Structure 1
Amino acid sequence: MNPAVKPPDQVFIVGCGDIGTRVARLWLAEDVPVTGLARHGDRLTAADIPAYPADLDDPTTLTDLPVEQALIYYFAPPPPRGQNDPRMTRFLQAVDQQGRRPARMVYISTSGVYGDRQGGIVTEQAEPNPQVDRARRRYAAEQTLREWGQKHAVPVIVLRVGGIYGPGRLPIKRLREQVPMIHEALAPQTNRIHAADLAAICVAAARRGTPGAIYNVSDGNDSNMTQYFNTVADFLGLPRPPLIDMDAARQTLSEGMLSYLGESRRMDTSRLRKELGIELQYPTLQIGLEATCQHDRDEVRETSRRRGL
């Protein structure tokens, strides 16, 4: 396990949604001041997190950023189109204009930067090969941030994260509508992490992450996409999705889902566990569902009762 750095003077979270709010609460519990950048600050105010309202698409709003010697988490997604992330560029330009330097930056990227590995195991040393634009945007943001960090001597840590699940993140609508899924024998290998474990990993990365390092993030369990939907359906008490072959999938499923079905990989998380000393609270999907998603299940049951199902 790497030695821990001293606690940050302050934390600034860019893109303070579900994961950002979870991370903020962990630092606030240690009496570290936290500010969250969000387009609309109402949600942060309701969560007792000081808000910095700003729009990453409007550089005129990115003034007086609280970045001096701050630990910065960058969780904001790229724009929905293109192969680059101009939002990351605008944010770093705004930091440059202020002439202030953060103490450290942590960026959430995606396992999609590895592309299709045909179910093989992927370590952080694997050459990135993003094959769809959503992954190309994330990889472009990684490169932009890491180059900026090297230029300004700011430690940057990148987390390449698999699918995130947890309360409010389950595919309830899809399962209710009985959207098909491919047969399990055809389903790609996938990687998942509970939202609470991801938040804890974000804190550990700031404390113990090696400057310049990349960490694969998942719970380390082998599974595939069809298993995921079946497990969630069983937990919620909903019918499992009907199964189809790939020819039917190409005629039925969305372009976005087809892009996920076209990639299969298993991420090696040895570095995460060794350097950050991670012990997952929810090491399997079933444990995570049973421990944290009871409210989702209760809502599904109540809705079904009202509909007479």
Structure 2
Amino acid sequence: MSAIRMFIFGAGYSGKAVGRAKPDASIRIAGTTRSPEKFEALRQAGIEPFVFDGSLTDELAGELAATTHLLISIAPDEAGDPVLNAAREKILHGMPKLQWIGYLSTVGVYGDHGGAWVNETAECRPVSRRSVMRLKAEQEWLALGAETGLPVAVMRLAGIYGPGRNAFMNLTNGTAKRLIKPDQVFNRIHGEDIAGAVWALAQQDKGGIFNVTDDEPAPPQDVVTYAARLMGVTPPPEIPFETAQLSPMARSFYGENKRISNAAIKAAGYRFRYPDYRAAFDAMWEAGGWNEGEARSPMKRG
């Protein structure tokens, strides 16, 4: 197989994890950010940085012409998918070496299933506007794959966490909460397992829809309690969901309850480094560095 040249539209938290995890030194990775101030962070992750502000520059077009694997990690907005809006014609007619397209989506497209198990064949009934737009973007990328004959891998991510984005940090800065809503569970995914899943599919040029999530849907308060135990600190008090002060977005997450199956990505050959939150938190606490990287609330991908 010829050397992979990957281009990542939206090299944020997940994109940089992909860069750091490249399986072979011969692989070239380029990626975009909206600000030149973030170039050095991309370089540290092994990614050659470019600015993408919604328009396709000559510089970007030149890089895309040599790209073999394209990964999209930019959320759609009311105007649609910004990458398709800017680069659809380039993908169709100006990327002769392109072999594979990956699209990072969200398990939010499933909506609420009352705590039932769902896999990739489950009905998608998104609740939030952001998840409705994600589902539409998924469908557009899959349609582009059908039009070009290229494999498109749609990866539906659960709540993302890892260094710089975890309950240890929330406990340290005082933002951790233990909200109690009976029978509520969420799946999660460590950034390194997002990267591992991307490379597992990219190296096989494998398309399809895949849930990228851990093995264990768990109540969110249990994660906070476990992290507090490792830190040797007292966990925050339990708060009934009904009386909690939450933003509309945070409250909307609790309106969706489902257990996400990851059988398809395992069948594609991927083995999770962190199959549940306990394995991940044990490793992060032992290794240190859990407070490095980008800080953002480790809720759900939207």
TM-score, reference length from structure 2: 0.83
Q: CA–CA distance in 2 between the matches of 1:28 and 1:283?
A: 20
1:17 counterpart (12, 32, 55): 12
The answer to whether the Cα contact below 8 Å between 1:221 and 1:284 also exists between their aligned partners in 2 is yes
SS state at 1:148 partner: helix
Residue 156 (structure 1) aligned with residue 129 (structure 2): no
1:218 counterpart (209, 213, 216): 213
Question: Do the aligned partners of residues 188 and 92 (structure 1) sit closer, same or farther apart at CA in structure 2, a change above 3 Å counting?
Answer: farther
| Unaligned residue ranges in structure 2 (runs of 5+) | 293-302
1:86 counterpart (81, 85, 107): 81
The answer to whether the Cα contact below 8 Å between 1:157 and 1:210 also exists between their aligned partners in 2 is yes
Amino acid at match of 1:76: I
Amino acid at match of 2:10: G
The answer to whether the Cα contact below 8 Å between 1:132 and 1:259 also exists between their aligned partners in 2 is yes
- Could you list the per-position Cα deviations for residues 73-112 of structure 1 after superposition, in whole angstroms to 9, with x for gaps in the alignment? 1112334xx4x63313324335258632421101111000
Q: CA–CA distance in 2 between the matches of 1:94 and 1:42?
A: 30
Identity %: 27
Residue 203 (structure 1) aligned with residue 195 (structure 2): no
Q: Which stretch of the first structure deviates more once superposed, 96-105 or 171-180?
A: 171-180
SS state at 1:137 partner: helix
Q: Which stretch of the first structure deviates more once superposed, 152-161 or 35-44?
A: 35-44
Q: CA–CA distance in 2 between the matches of 1:123 and 1:112?
A: 13
Q: CA–CA distance in 1 between the matches of 2:176 and 2:14?
A: 27
The answer to whether the Cα contact below 8 Å between 1:189 and 1:225 also exists between their aligned partners in 2 is yes
Amino acid at match of 2:51: A
- Could you list the per-position Cα deviations for residues 160-193 of structure 1 after superposition, in whole angstroms to 9, with x for gaps in the alignment? 111121111114564343554322x525211112
The answer to whether the Cα contact below 8 Å between 2:6 and 2:67 also exists between their aligned partners in 1 is no
The answer to whether the Cα contact below 8 Å between 1:64 and 1:98 also exists between their aligned partners in 2 is no
SS state at 2:153 partner: strand
Q: Which residue of structure 1 aligns with residue 187 of structure 2?
A: 191
1:241 counterpart (236, 247, 250): 236
Q: CA–CA distance in 2 between the matches of 1:121 and 1:54?
A: 40
Q: Which residue of structure 2 aligns with residue 3 of structure 1?
A: none
What's the RMSD between the two structures over aligned residues? 2.6
Amino acid at match of 2:95: R
Amino acid at match of 2:75: P
Residue 105 (structure 1) aligned with residue 98 (structure 2): no
Question: Do the aligned partners of residues 220 and 47 (structure 1) sit closer, same or farther apart at CA in structure 2, a change above 3 Å counting?
Answer: closer
2:165 counterpart (164, 169, 178): 169
Q: Which residue of structure 2 aligns with residue 44 of structure 1?
A: 42
Query: 5 Å matches for 1:271-282?
Result: 271-274=264-267, 276-282=268-274
Whose radius of gyration is greater, 1 or 2?
1
Q: Which residue of structure 1 aligns with residue 52 of structure 2?
A: 55
Higher helix share: 1
2:62 counterpart (48, 51, 64): 64
Residue 228 (structure 1) aligned with residue 220 (structure 2): no
Q: Which residue of structure 1 aligns with residue 90 of structure 2?
A: 95
- Could you list the per-position Cα deviations for residues 217-275 of structure 1 after superposition, in whole angstroms to 9, with x for gaps in the alignment? 112113122212222333334432322223212xx11111101111111111111111x
Residue 60 of structure 1 deviates from its aligned partner by: 4.9
The answer to whether the Cα contact below 8 Å between 2:33 and 2:51 also exists between their aligned partners in 1 is yes
Q: Which residue of structure 2 aligns with residue 265 of structure 1?
A: 258
Q: CA–CA distance in 2 between the matches of 1:263 and 1:138?
A: 16
Residue 144 of structure 1 deviates from its aligned partner by: 1.6
